[in-house]
Amino acid sequence: MSWIIGLLLAASVLLFLEVLLPGGILGLLAAGCVIAATVLTGLEYDWVTAALVFMASILVSLLLVVVEFRLFAKTRFGKRFFLSRTVEGKRRTAQSGEDLVGKSGLTLTRLNPSGRVEIEGHTYEAQARDGYLEAGVAITVLSQDNFKLIIEQS
């Protein structure tokens, strides 16, 4: 009897930790503990009691998850684990490489052969056709290849 109770308590603890540290492994271990407790109950008592233990442990597990999301998430400790704010950002419209061909700009970083360039106030990934350019060098866009601009020194 003590093994059955111990396995069910271990399943509850593992399920609690699975909600905090998602990944699936702790949830699988919790499910294994419930199944092992069910089998031990069936072997030690009868299979009707084992089925009742299984259903009760599933209901307790669901209740534990609901309590964890509803109550624990509002505690000072729980707020560290649950996301409480939305992440905001902005996006700028992408300019196609054909629109930039022939335009001039400056290298922001050393291109060896790849780096960052600035063209008309916007920053782009670029690759120097000739291989190596220092930062602050005037450049001209030749073409675009797989989201990178191909440039040369002006």
**Residues sharing a CB contact under 8 Å with residue 52, sequence separation 6 or more, in sequence order:** none
Cβ–Cβ contacts within 10 Å for residue 104, how many?
12
As a whole-number percent, the residues of the chain with pLDDT over 90 amount to 53
CATH code for the part of the protein at 98-153: 2.40.50.140
pLDDT surpasses 90 at 89: no
**Residues sharing a CB contact under 8 Å with residue 125, sequence separation 6 or more, in sequence order:** 114, 115, 116, 147, 148, 149
Question: How far is residue 94's CA from residue 97's CA, in Å, rounded to a whole number?
Answer: 9
Residue range 6-32: mean pLDDT, rounded: 91
Question: How far is residue 27's CA from residue 6's CA, in Å, rounded to a whole number?
Answer: 17
Taking each helix axis as running N to C, give the angle between helix 47-70 and helix 25-44, from 0 to 180 degrees, rounded to the nearest 10: 150
Confirm if 127 and 113 have CB atoms less than 8 A apart: yes
pTM: 0.51
Smallest CA-to-CA distance from 19 within 61, 56, 75 is with: 61
Where do the domains of the chain lie? 2-80, 98-153
User: What pLDDT score does 74 carry?
Assistant: 84
User: What pLDDT score does 70 carry?
Assistant: 85
User: pLDDT digit string (tens) for 21-60?
Assistant: 888 899 999 999 999 999 999 999 999 999 999 999 999 9
Cα-flanking dihedrals φ and ψ of residue 149, to 5°?
A: -90, 140
Q: What angle do CA 129, 131, 132 make, to 5 degrees?
A: 125
